[in-house]
Amino acid sequence: MSYTVTIEPLGASFDVAEGQTLLDGALRHGIYLPHACCHGLCGTCKVRVVDGEVNHGDASPFALMDLERDEGHCLACCATPEGDVVIEADIDEEPDQRPIPLRDFSGRVAALQDLTPTIKGVTIALDGDGLDFQAGQYVNLGWPGLAQPRAFSLANAPADGRLVELNIRRVPGGEATGYIHERLQVGDPVTVSGPLGRFFVRKSDPQPILFMAGGSGLSSPRSMILDLLHTDGDTRPITLVYGARNRAELYYHEDFVELAARHPNFRYLPALSEPTADCAWDGATGFVHDAAWTLFDGDFRGHKAYLCGPPPMIESGIRTLMKGRLFERDIHTEKFLSAADAAQQSRSPLFKNL
């Protein structure tokens, strides 16, 4: 048995299991709610229930007083939903986020392309009028016989939503990605639910943009960069630092080289972490964060940074940016987390989103 929790003013929804607290559910779905003691005593995580019923659990009568209970407040750290609920939390609304309702689509595989030895490009033609989304968001992809749909970032610009592109890395031993790499055929029917996620460009912020991507984490930045340069004709300085293991794993390389040649405000820096002699590589070597550090001479002030890739790459990126004096308000990340990664995280309330 699970219930749907909707968080206003974000409009974000997620499911929680019976007995799971609102806070636990939100954090596990990447939505930060302020919190501190986590056992109902301090009141940091107070939210208002706009619709539905919750069980207050062990909320202290001092941290959540009767008058507040009467007004519909609860403590997210110990409140469990008794049905579907809508809560209002004191979190920042993003002026640049477009509220796009989640929709389910059917479609067919239109093209398959081996982008690298481990990353497959999957193009899907959607039925109907197509998917409206913001560059940086992701979809849940399913097909007949797959029990649980899998999340993949959209790699194309949102201009035409009827064809969507996904860059899918093969996870060793992964059931779904193994299927995609070995058995998926052009013409196969698939289902797509989207758009999902809160990773998008804060376009109203005028600062120059730095994208840092690793591996198949290139998909979101690619969508965002194409959207900025082609759709918006944005003229602010935009930098992409992209890291791959070796030359064979570096994909869309020629496209970005060409894009940089055509747009003087766009700078592209690829870096290989394990180049071999076969790579014939004379570009930057090392990790993305080190390449970015060198390129910016250790000073990232006055930028907006968007990071996309596996958790260790994101963590190194955050540390490097902070060392170069760029902080949480200007750093946005999309982590590729497996369920195991999310469960292991033990974080303090020091950072809200990082």
Note the residues at the interface with another protein (CB under 8 A). 8-9, 34, 36-37, 41-44, 50, 60-63, 65-67, 90-93, 318-319, 322-323, 325, 327-328, 346-351, 354
Whichever of 92 and 104 has its CB closer to another protein, that residue is: 92
Whichever of 277 and 350 has its CB closer to another protein, that residue is: 350
End-to-end CA distance of the chain: 31
Look-up: residue for tokens 């940091």?
A: 44
Distance CA 290, CA 212 (A): 11
For residue 145, how many other CB atoms are within 10 A of its CB? 6
Q: How far is the CB of 9 from another protein (least distance, A)?
A: 6
Whichever of 91 and 229 has its CB closer to another protein, that residue is: 91
Burial label for 137, CB within 10 Å (0-12, 13-18, 19+), is: buried
Angle between helices 288-295 and 311-323 (to 10 degrees): 20
Amino acid present at 178: G
Whichever of 43 and 214 has its CB closer to another protein, that residue is: 43
Q: How far is the CB of 31 from another protein (least distance, A)?
A: 15
Q: How far is the CB of 315 from another protein (least distance, A)?
A: 8
At residue 37, what are phi and psi to the nearest 5 degrees?
A: -80, -30
Whichever of 58 and 114 has its CB closer to another protein, that residue is: 58
At residue 311, what are phi and psi to the nearest 5 degrees?
A: -50, -45
Are 133 and 158 in contact by the 8 Å Cβ rule? The answer is yes
Which 3 state secondary structure label does DSSP give 231?
A: helix
Are 122 and 114 in contact by the 8 Å Cβ rule? The answer is no
Query: How far, in whole angstroms, is CA 350 from its chain's centroid?
Result: 21
Amino acid present at 52: G
Q: List the helix and strand counts (H, then E) for the chain.
A: 8, 19
Q: Which residues lie across from 306 on neighbouring strands?
A: 211, 332
Q: How far is the CB of 28 from another protein (least distance, A)?
A: 16
Are 267 and 229 in contact by the 8 Å Cβ rule? The answer is no
Q: How far is the CB of 36 from another protein (least distance, A)?
A: 5
Q: How far is the CB of 162 from another protein (least distance, A)?
A: 27
Whichever of 36 and 343 has its CB closer to another protein, that residue is: 36
Q: How far is the CB of 61 from another protein (least distance, A)?
A: 6
Q: How far is the CB of 29 from another protein (least distance, A)?
A: 20
Going from the C-alpha of 240 to that of each of 34, 44, 190, 246, the distances in angstroms are 32, 38, 32, 17
Quote the radius of gyration of the chain (alpha carbons, Å). 21
Q: How far is the CB of 301 from another protein (least distance, A)?
A: 11
Whichever of 101 and 145 has its CB closer to another protein, that residue is: 101
Whichever of 8 and 84 has its CB closer to another protein, that residue is: 8
Whichever of 15 and 71 has its CB closer to another protein, that residue is: 71
Q: In sequence order, which residues have a C-beta less than 8 Å from that of residue 345 and are 6 or more positions away?
A: none
